[in-house]
Structures are given as structure tokens and as C-alpha cells.
Structure 1
Amino acid sequence: MRLTALRTFIAAAAMGLSLLTAPIAAQADDNPSAVIDQIRSSGVLKVPVMTGEEPGYIKDPKTGEWSGFYYEFLGEIATQLGVKLEPVETTWGNLAADFQSNKIDIAIGVNPNPKRGLVVDYLWEPLFTDAWAVLTPPGKPVKTWAELNDPSKTVVVQKGSTMQIVAEALLPKATITPVEDRGLALMELQSGRADGVVFAVFDALQITNQKIGDVSLPEPILRNPATLAVARKPGNAGYINFLTNWIQQERSLGLAQGKLARAWEARGIDLTILPAGFSF
């Protein structure tokens, strides 16, 4: 009888404990500020940084310190949250995995992607908008995407990026060659192994300073929203609300546009290729 009574007591205690902890767990899941609280508690905002992605990300080869307009934007967000930036070196194609492994707290300048959308929440308000362009060999610009949609053409993209999705959708007849990063893509073009490399137009324009090729903005022009993304997890509603308000302020007051214009001007980027009335 004593053994039975002890078992009954243990079972009752376990049930009581579960009833006590269940509301706590539910409360954590229902707390819209849980993610913000976690970031503030850690003291850092973990952000992705990428080599070869100037002027958005610029790494000082002597000090290893990061700058660039994306890094500046992220620094403003960190300041608002009262934390410091913690750079995590990665690539565009690895962002979803970085979110899943909790390596980063935010991504900036990303494009909505259905596959990544399974694990990532995108903010619907873009920080700015550019368009998809093609960097071609010198003297070989293209007016339309159709000119590259040919079995004899090879188009290079960064692996796992939105650029790859664009190329595969518009150029099904061409040979699409995915590579790991921008540097390798440019090597393919310079070596004569590529007829074009797909880039966001602002990235392509700053590359032209290197005299590697010509920038084309093929028709139909495809606008490219550059937005923010966070990991899909309980308690990120307040984080998303905070970031959405930050973006709306940046855009409505001209802060984002001014920062971008200064960054591109500082690197001698000529924006005259953009059609009249193109607003970023």
C-alpha cells in the first residue's frame, strides 16, 4: 500500500508541476516581445556580413572592421535596441540556414523567396527598391532578357540567391551556372566563360568602375524589393512591428534614400542608366 501511495503521490506531483509550467511556456510563446527581450539580454544583434559585396558591406583588410550602407543600417537598428553589432560572415545563399541555426537575428537587403519563406518572416515594406540587371562582356549589352534565352548563352548567378531564381525563370534555354560569390561570378565573365552575370542594378553599376563589362537593364524591367527578414519563431511579432516602423520612418523621411545616394556617389556610381522616374 505504501508503494502504491508513493506512486500516486509522484503522479499527482508531476501533474501539478505540468500545470504550473504549462502557463509559463504558453506565456513565453504569447509574449510578442520575446525576441526583442532575448536580443537585449544578449547585448548583441547578430548580423550577416559578406565579402565582395561592396558598397553594402565593406571589410577593412587591415583591421577586419566592417562598414558599408547595409552595415550602417544595421548599426542604427542595434542602437535603437540598445545593443552592439556582432558581424557573422556568410553568403546570401546561407541566410536561411543561418536563421535556423540561430547564427543571425536579422538579414537586410534580401528579396522575398518562397523557399526561405518557410522558415523566415519577410517584412512587406521594402527598405528600398532597385531592379535586376545583367553585367555583360564589354561592348555586348543586351536590350531584352530574350537575347540571353538561348542554348548558346551561359549566364552566371550566385548560388541559392534570388538572382538564380530570376535567371532560371526568364532564361530556361540558357545554361545557368551557379557560383558561391560575386568574385567567382566576375572571374567567369572575365575569363570569357559567361555571356552575362545577373546582379541587382546598383551592385552591377558599382562593378563597372572595375572596367569588367557593361551594365544592361533588360526589358521587361523587373523591380527588386530589398527588404528585411527575421527568423520565424514565437515572440517575434513585436520585433517585426519595431522593424516595420523603423523602415517606414527611414523611407518617409528620406533617410534611407539619402544614405544610399551618398554611398553610391562616394563610390562613383553613375545612376544615369536608370529610366526616368525610377524611384528607389
Structure 2
Amino acid sequence: MLSLANVRPQSTARFSLHRLVMAVAAFVIMALSSYQAMAADPNLVLDRIRKSGELRVPVMVGEEPGYIRDRATGAWGGFYMDWANDIATILGVKAVPVETTWGNLAADFQANKIDIAFGLNPNPKRGLVVDYLSVPLFTDAWAIVTKPGFTKTTWKELNDPSVRIVVQKGGTMQVVAEALTPKATITPVEDRPLGVMELQSGRADVMIVAIFDAVEIAKQIKGQITLPTPMLRNPATIGVRREEGNEGYENWLTNWVNQQRALGLAQGKLQQAFEKHGIDLSMLPPEFSF
């Protein structure tokens, strides 16, 4: 016959094991609950923008017709602002311009100064803090603007120490110049107007820009546009700040872009913007289409 002295240790062991199992189960439940609480709502950013009543958009001096500042009122327009206003209207908020430069965009996103940016070219360095939509709003290409009579038409010919190239600092055009024409004399400047001045003064032979910008610059200086070969197509997309809870925002913007492209709305807006700005798109090289 077993004594109680022999039974109690087993009962105590079973009881301790039961308590341990219950404690582990409780910990797992608490951990899962904490994880679910910490997991970001995919609509967090979209809801935040709608609650704030503002869609903060970067604007830039000297970037017509994408960004146009009314000298009399200070109000911002241009096709990028038109798109921003369209998105803001659908969200029930107001588009608020934030003056900056291409080179400062990544820092502006990181500092949470802006909610969206248009016409971006995927850039791995900037991509550390910016999420790009997977579909482009329109297709661009890298071009050069020169004075009439400039004869070099390939990237290989431009890659020469005698060729003086001006680019906007921190933009993708600087990446292109340093990758394809490292032997050329490359001068980075803060913004487009300074680049145009370098070209007008004769301190630069070539300015590398997106082709839609090239059309505007060529009009200003009575210059010529060349698409150096091989032609480098350039997807112009939308960027948003990389942060938790922006999945719903990105998905919604992707749907908006798909509609703009499918119905020809994006292409039509570009066409109208250039015509309204007095720019003849027949200046575009025949091998390019957007």
C-alpha cells in the first residue's frame, strides 16, 4: 500500500506541470495579442491624410510646365499640381504645396514634410526611404539640350573630356551622367534655372534632362533636342514615404494610376499642359512616344 508521502510528490509535479503549461499558453496568447496590436493597419497613412485634411505635395521653382507658380498670386499650378489636386479632391482633402528641390526629396520624405511626389525615376539611394509605385504614370526618356549645331548624338560620343555637361544635383540625371559619361566634364547645379544659365552662357555644352523638360528648355534658349542613342526610357512614377501602414495608400494610388493610363487621361493631361504653355510637342523626336 502506497503512503501519502509517495503520492504527494507526483500530484505536486502534475500540478506544477499544469501550471507551467497554462502559463506558457497565457504568454503565447499575450504575445500574439501584442503582435496584432503592434501590426500596422494597412490604411494607417491613408486615414491619417484624410483626417489631416491635407495632401502635402512638393513643388519646385523653374520646373515648368510640371510646376508653375503664378507670379501675381503665388499660387502653384502645372500638370503635377493638377494631378495632386485630382487625388486630393477624391480623398476629400486639400493639396498643399511644399517648396523644395529634386535633391531634397528623400530628406523631405524622411522628415515627414510631404505625402506624395510625382514624376520620380526609381532611384536605389532614394529608395531607402521612398516607396515607388510599380506602375509609371507616364513614360519619359533621357535627352540632351544643346545650342544649335551640336553634333554628338550618342552616349559614347558624349563620354569625352572635351564635352561639358550640366546636370541637376541629386537628381537621376546626375546618376545618368556619371554612369554613361564619366570622362566628360560634369557640373552639378542646384536647380534647372542654374543649369539653363550654364548652357546660355557657354559654360556648358550639354544639359541632360528628361525629354519633357528638354522641350521647355529648348524653347527658352532656342536650342536643339537630341535623344542620345541608345535611347534610355525613363518611367516617371509616384513616390510615397516608406513607413508602416502605407500599403493601402500605395494600393489606392496604383488603382488611380492604372485608370489614368488605361483611359488616356495622363497622356491627355500632358498634351494639354504643354499646348497651354505654348510648347509645340512636334519638337519631340519622332522615335519617342509617351
Question: Do these two structures clear the TM 0.5 threshold for a shared fold by scoring above it?
Answer: yes
1:116 aligns with 2:106: no
Task: Trace 1:171-210 onto structure 2 (pairs within 5 A).
Answer: 171-210=181-220
Stretch moving more, 130-139 or 37-46:
130-139
The SS at the match of 1:30 is: coil
* 1:48/1:89 contact within 8 Å kept: yes
Q: Is the 8 A contact 1:138 1:214 kept in 2?
A: yes
From 139, 147, 160, the equivalent of 2:157 is 147
Match of 1:228 among 238, 252, 264: 238
Match in the other structure for 1:74: 84
Instruction: Indicate which of 94, 97, 100 corresponds to 1:90.
Output: 100
Amino acid at match of 2:106: A
Q: Which runs of 5+ in 1 are unaligned?
A: 1-18
Q: Does 1:256 align with 2:254?
A: no
The 2-side partners of 1:21 and 1:82 are apart by 38
State the Cα distance separating 1:253 from its structure 2 match: 0.6
Residue 281 of structure 2 aligns to a residue whose secondary structure is coil
Secondary structure in structure 2 of the residue aligned to 1:39: helix
Q: Distance in 1 between matches of 2:146 and 2:174?
A: 16
TM-score when normalising by structure 1 = 0.89
User: Which of the numbers 48, 67, 83 marks the counterpart of 1:38?
Assistant: 48
Q: Distance in 2 between matches of 1:260 and 1:73?
A: 11
Distance 1:261 1:141 in 2: 29
- Of structures 1 and 2, the larger Rg is shown by 2
Structure 2: stretches of 5+ with no match in the other structure: 1-28
Rate the CA distance shift 1:276–1:188 in 2: closer, same or farther, 3 A. Answer: closer
Distance apart, 1:27 and its partner CA: 3.5
What is the rounded CA distance, in whole Å, between the counterparts of 1:20 and 1:64 in structure 2?
55
1:149 maps to a residue whose letter is N
Contact 2:85 2:95 in 1 (8 A): yes
More deviation, 20-29/93-102:
20-29
- 1:179 & 1:35 partners in 2: Cα distance? 34
8 A Cα contact 1:46 1:103, kept in partner: yes
Give how far 1:275 is off.
4.8
State the match for 1:60 in structure 2. 70
Deviations 1:232-272 (A, max 9, x none): 10000000000000000000011111111111122232333
Distance across 2 between alignment mates of 1:127 and 1:210: 26
Give the whole-Å Cα distance in 1 for the aligned partners of 2:65 and 2:250: 26
Name the residue aligned to 2:223.
Answer: 213
Could you tell me which amino acid in structure 2 is paired with residue 201 of structure 1?
I
Residue 249 of structure 2 corresponds to which residue in structure 1?
239
Question: Hey, what's the Cα distance between the residues in 2 that align with 1:26 and 1:66?
Answer: 42
**CA displacement at 1:137 relative to structure 2:** 2.0
Q: Quick one: distance in 2 between partners of 1:143 and 1:179?
A: 23
Aligned twin of 1:126 = 136
Per the TM alignment, residue 106 of structure 1 is displaced from its structure 2 partner at its CA by 0.6
Provide the rounded CA distance (Å) in 2 between the counterparts of 1:210 and 1:231. Answer: 34
Percent identity between the two aligned chains: 64
The question of whether the paired residues in 2 share the 8 Å contact of 1:141 and 1:216 is answered with: no
Count how many residue pairs are aligned between Structure 1 and Structure 2: 263
Superposed CA RMSD in Å reads 2.0
